[in-house]
Amino acid sequence: MSKTFFITGGAGFIGSAVIRELIHNTDNHVVNVDKLTYAGNLESLVSVADSERYTFAQADICDAPAMQQLFEQHQPDVVMHLAAESHVDRSIDGPAAFIQTNVVGTAVLLEAARAYWKSLQQQEPAKAEAFRFHHISTDEVYGDLDGTDELFTEETSYAPSSPYSASKASSDHLVRSWQRTYGLPTLVTNCSNNYGPYHFPEKLIPLMILNALAGKPLPVYGDGQQIRDWLYVEDHARALIKVATEGEIGETYNIGGHNEQTNLHVVETICEILDELVPYKVKGSSHDSPLTTHDSHKQLITFVTDRPGHDVRYAIDASKIERELGWTPEETFETGLRKTVEWYLANETWWKRVQDGSYQRLGTNT
């Protein structure tokens, strides 16, 4: 039976992947609720924009009357809350926006969802029974891992290190408290680092791809030995839909890619793929001359001062979602990263419009 998914932040990187998956591969309806800040890009949703099962509403999750009106208008079966400020460096430079969106916005959305759910209990008990509020969070709420063998589990204590991760930890606690206090049927997922097509170019992997293509320096924080678990965004989208539709109320599910890599190795691998697909020419060399063994995009790697509070290692134990819901990632780090590099090479128009800001002109109220 078709459901209506109410997706906040649906014009963002992960949100747009979820929407594409829902429209292309299910018969569900989607309401995309996005404020369209700098990270919201409707051009990531061109392939679904004309679907009769897709609706876009430009709105701020902090706007309580707007949220109430959208719930009443669209009568969703599932809320997937992805709207968030998510860039660590930006949170260090200006934390207030992160508190407003990630904490206040989540509280406003929870209250709108609770009022809607209570009305369903009176008017449509079966629909109320099936209603779900799925909050999408990050592994960064857990802080830093010691050693090389420890993994984040769903029981790991929270110890956020940045204003971004602290704001996400706050929103996680709010969601769980609404479930325990009011009975709102919630689920929480915490994911590792996502990557893939349509990723905003300020993030590590797209930044390195595009800088390398432009012959610009590839800035690596500190010594580049920080370890992250990398999750291909389309694998994540499938996991999120599975949790939203099959997960147990009140539960938390960690979602990881089983791909632990140092930041330096990620950058070096991107360089190796680009060396193969778009051979690097040293500035001033002839485009007709053969490459020497020293001509590599790796020459562009530059080590820069580490950022404050930089966690050394994140790693997800994703055994619970595999055991209970049967989800495992389809992409390895090698296959996913190659797909990502190839996508950026084939979609120059998309990322150039992000770089020059012209993508922001597409936003309209509907």
User: Rounded to an integer, what distance in angstroms lies between the CA atom of residue 356 and that of residue 339?
Assistant: 24
Marked catalytic residue, from 34, 77, 140, 268: 140
Alpha-carbon 324 to chain mean position = 23
- Calpha distance 108→160 (Å, rounded): 23
Catalytic entry in 139, 229, 235, 268: 139
Say which of 164, 195, 280, 359 is annotated catalytic.
164
139 catalytically annotated: yes
Residues 83 and 110 sit within 8 Å (Cβ to Cβ): no
CA gap 197, 270 in Å, rounded: 14
User: What value does the CA radius of gyration of the chain take, rounded to a whole number of Å?
Assistant: 21
**One-letter-per-residue 3-state SS of 190-208:** EECEEECCCCCCCCHHHHH
Least Cα distance to 363 among 81, 56, 70, 12 occurs for 56
The answer to whether residue 164 is catalytic is yes
Neighbours of 288 (CB within 10 A): 5
For residue 109, what are its two tokens?
A: 């959305």
User: How many other C-beta atoms can be found within 10 angstroms of the C-beta atom of residue 120?
Assistant: 19
- Euclidean distance between CA atoms 300 and 271, whole angstroms: 9
Phi, psi of 81 (to 5 degrees): -95, 100
Distance CA(72)–CA(67), nearest Å, equals 9
Please return the burial class of 1, using the count of CB atoms within 10 Å of its CB with bins 0-12, 13-18 and 19+: exposed
Q: Say whether 140 is catalytic.
A: yes
Which residues are known catalytic residues? 139-140, 164
